Each structure stands twice: as C-alpha cells, then as structure tokens.
Structure 1
Amino acid sequence: MSTDHPTLRISDAERETVAVRIRDAAAEGRLTLEEADERQQAVYAARTAADLEPLTADLPAPPAPVPSRRAALTPEARRRLLVHAGIGAAFALLFLIRWVVGPVPFFWPAGPLFWIAASVVAHYLWTTRRRQPSAPGTTASR
C-alpha cells in the first residue's frame, strides 16, 4: 500500500493485505476480538489509503519476507532438467517392461529406479542452488 498518495482509491488486494494483518494481530493477542471485528469492518468500508492508515498504526510492521536461497530455473535449465527426467522415465519404463516379461521373480528394477530418481532430484537441487551469473561488469565468486 502506498502512502505517497493517501487520497487515491485502494484496491481489494490492498484491503485484503490490511485485513490479513489485523487477523494476524488478533491471532497473536495484540487485539481483542471486538477490536479486530471493528477494524475488519472499517477495512472493507475504506476507500482510500488514508482510511486504512489508522487501522494499523498501533500494530508492529509485518515481518520482511525471507528471501529464497534457491535460484529460479532459467528456461535452458528447465529444458535440461525435463530432458533428464524424460530419459530417466524412458529407462524406467524399459526396465519395468523387461522385468514384467522376464523370468526373474524378484523386483530387480528397484535399484536402477532408485538411482534414476536420485539423479533427477540431485540435478534439480544442483541447478536451483547454483549461483546465478552476476550482471556484466561485476565479479562473482564461485
């Protein structure tokens, strides 16, 4: 919610953000149920940012979101992971068909299937934990 222009009309999403903040404050015991109910009614009746300001002025600021340590997959990395998973699935299907039509009574594909799955999971984890290349003109430590 922007306080730069307190007379601008607010959106439903901004109202909902403040309503969630009030619900959280009530759940933490910072507001009584009656206070929370009154403020909730005022939130949904609010039309401008100035109407919302006093409803949360005495509440602590919401905690900052924790940044994710995982990097988003680039389209190229996603393609490589899908190729890896596809090849692994093809081999898994081949092993299962071979086991079904073969004479061996025990489930021998369990070992290869485990390692195929482990390799796909390791590939995903390795790809998402890698540091992204830095912007041009800066140095990055690896």
Structure 2
Amino acid sequence: MSDPHEQLRVGNAERSAAVAELQQAAVDGKLTPDELTERSALAQAARTYADLDALLGDLRPPAPPVQLQPVQGYPVAGYRGSSDPTAPPGWSPHDPLLINAGFTGAKRTGEWQVPPFLQVQALADTVRLDCLQATTTSELIDLEVLPGAGAVVLVVPEGWAVQVDRLGKTWGSVSSKVPSRAAWGNPLIVVRGSVGLGSFKARGANWLDRRRLGQDR
C-alpha cells in the first residue's frame, strides 16, 4: 500500500529545499555535475513528495524504524482503519475524534495523545488544539475541519508540520506559520475540509506558551 504522504502536493519551498539538498550532495561527491543538472531540473518540476523522494532517496541514510506504542490498551497492529468497537475514537477514519465548539469553546491541551484521525468544528466559539506537550504514534495525522463561524487554532511543537492546501474557505481565513514538511521523525498534520465563515490558524509556540510550559516544569 502506498504512503498517502507521498501523494501530497509540494510547493516552491519544498522544491527549493530539494535542489539545495542535491547541490550539497554534489559538493559531497555523491552526484556528478551532469547528475546534479538533471536531478535539479526534475526537482523544479516535481508535483508530489513521491517525485522528490525518487530524486533524493539514494542520497539519504535509511530511516530508523518507527516504534508504535499501544493506546489505552488498544493494540497498535490494527489501529489504521480498524472497525473494532472497543477502539477509542480517533483510531479509525470512520470514527474520528470529534472536538466541537458550539457556543462554548473546546480544547485539548497539556499531555494528550493525538490520534491519526480528528474532526473539529468551531460553530461559534474557538477550538484549540495545543500539541506542545502532546505525543502521537502516527507519522500522518488527518485533521478534518467542518464549516463554522468560530476559530480553530492549532499549536504544534518545533519539527511538526502542517499542510493546509486541502482546507477551503468561503468568507473565512486560513493561516499557517508552520512548515509544510516535517523534520525527521516528526508527524505531518494534513488539514482538509472548510472553515466556512470562521478561521483556521496553525502556529508554533509563542512567548506565552513557552512561559507557561516553563512554569509547568
């Protein structure tokens, strides 16, 4: 089965990063000048991560195996797409973890485990997903946003990535100050759906978050 991450679209930032990586590989003696020219042209024309991985895969060391841990006693081996009724919400695309803010805000903060499938809706107030102290066993997290008039705020640690290319809007707004490609060993959150009249914002920790975390310790 192919990795869904590989079919995600890349932008100019990812293409430029790939070219820079190819140039460094040439400096290190891994590519000849002709190979560098050829691969750089292909990188500039790349559409998906799979296209870039094909150009960079033989230049990188193999990735270490990902160690998945059980969640609330539920076995990891079958968590993707499982229909087991005993599984907690969020461990099947048919049963995502639903976080809804009607006229009262909703949030997830502190130490919590982010499942691979979430669905949020900010009807009139704010949904806040604070992942600064969160953990996850999934390299790819599907976050579906349902239309509303409130705000969805996603706060992620350094190294995590957020893609909002699949998130639509009508009169609302979408903003992300987070890289669209994760650092080694960190998860990618793919955001899709529509904000409707509301807003979506993804960001890293600000000074208030860092101060709070410092006090918590």
* Bigger fraction of residues in helix: 1
Q: Shorter-chain TM-score: what band? A: 0.3 to 0.5
* Bigger fraction of residues in strand: 2
| TM-score (normalizing by structure 2) | 0.28
Rg larger in 1 or in 2? Answer: 1
| TM-score (normalizing by structure 1) | 0.42
